[in-house]
Amino acid sequence: MKSESVYEKIKWCNQDIEEFKDLIQINDSALEITKRYKLLESISGKKIKNRFENLIITCWSAKDYLKKDIIEEISVNTGKVFEKNLFKHKDTDLIQYIADSVKHGGIGNEFLKLNKYKKLKPKLENVIFKLSNQSVPGELKPTYKSDSEDLFEFDIKMVKLEVDEVVYYNFDTIHLSMKIIDNENNTIGDAIDLVRDFTKKLKFEYNRIMLI
């Protein structure tokens, strides 16, 4: 599998999560009072979590596919250099720990002793549902955030903000992600941020070798 198809697979998994946004119903009536947001009844937080788990596993598998590509194109030793360079980034240990925990029920002893997160035992936790109005100028934007085991129907009183005599109502952007917590329930990251940063490092280390 060549690098282009590897990155496409990660993109598809991201799109699987993004499509949930189309299933969030918004009641647009009575704008002056409230807006009601809810997921379709057939969609639960567990289904969203399953897709995040699939995204993490796909990212970790991408490392193996790209290493195999390097070995076939250059050499076994160069493939090992690629993997060694990738593990210089802490995100690699986090992706590895979560992916192996989800897929295999735990990380193998051979890799566990080297993993930087072995004491923290990270895992995916709650769905993060965030609404914001990105059309409002400036850094401070109206935002609503729900962090729970599941997403549910809720009402929001009209959000109204006036900037330079222009009035902005409610929200125009929906963001879904998941918390990553340690064994003491401390938040150590965000799944979407982790995938985005790891994918960038994956491309960087791969191109650094293949484009020489």
The secondary structure of 106-166 as a DSSP string is: S--HHHHTT-TTTTT--EEEEEEEEEE-TTSSSS---EEEEEESS---EEEEPPEEEETTE
Task: Summarize the confidence of residues 179-189 as an average pLDDT.
Answer: 92
Mind listing the pLDDT tens digit for each residue in 121-154? Answer: 999 988 888 888 888 888 878 888 877 766 666 6
Q: For 41-56, b where at least 16 C-beta lie within 10 A, e where not — what string? A: eeebbeebbebbbbbb
Q: For 81-111, b where at least 16 C-beta lie within 10 A, e where not — what string? A: bbbebbbebebbbbbbbbbbbbeeeebeeee
Residue 6: partners with Cβ closer than 8 Å, 6 or more residues away: 62, 65, 66
pLDDT at 115: 80
Task: Summarize the confidence of residues 81-107 as an average pLDDT.
Answer: 89
| pTM given for the model | 0.79
Q: How many domains does the chain contain in total?
A: 1
Residue 39 confidence (pLDDT) above 60:
yes
- 160 or 68, which is more confident: 68
**Locate tokens 């955030």: which residue?**
145
Residue 41 confidence (pLDDT) above 60:
no
Residue 3 confidence (pLDDT) above 90:
no
CB 69 within 8 A of CB 1: yes
Q: Within a 10 A sphere around the Cβ of 6, how many other Cβ atoms?
A: 23
Residue 25 confidence (pLDDT) above 80:
no
pLDDT at 67: 93
Task: Work out the percent of the chain whose per-residue pLDDT is above 90.
Answer: 31
Tokens of 72: 């076939």
Tokens of 179: 């918390």
Residue 72: partners with Cβ closer than 8 Å, 6 or more residues away: none
Q: State which residues form the domain around 138.
A: 3-210
Residue 33 confidence (pLDDT) above 70:
no
Identify the band that residue 184 occupies on the pLDDT scale cut at 50, 70 and 90: very high
CB 34 within 8 A of CB 158: yes
Residue 45 confidence (pLDDT) above 60:
yes
CB 123 within 8 A of CB 189: no
**Locate tokens 């918004």: which residue?**
26
Identify the band that residue 27 occupies on the pLDDT scale cut at 50, 70 and 90: low
- 64 or 23, which is more confident: 64
pLDDT at 188: 92
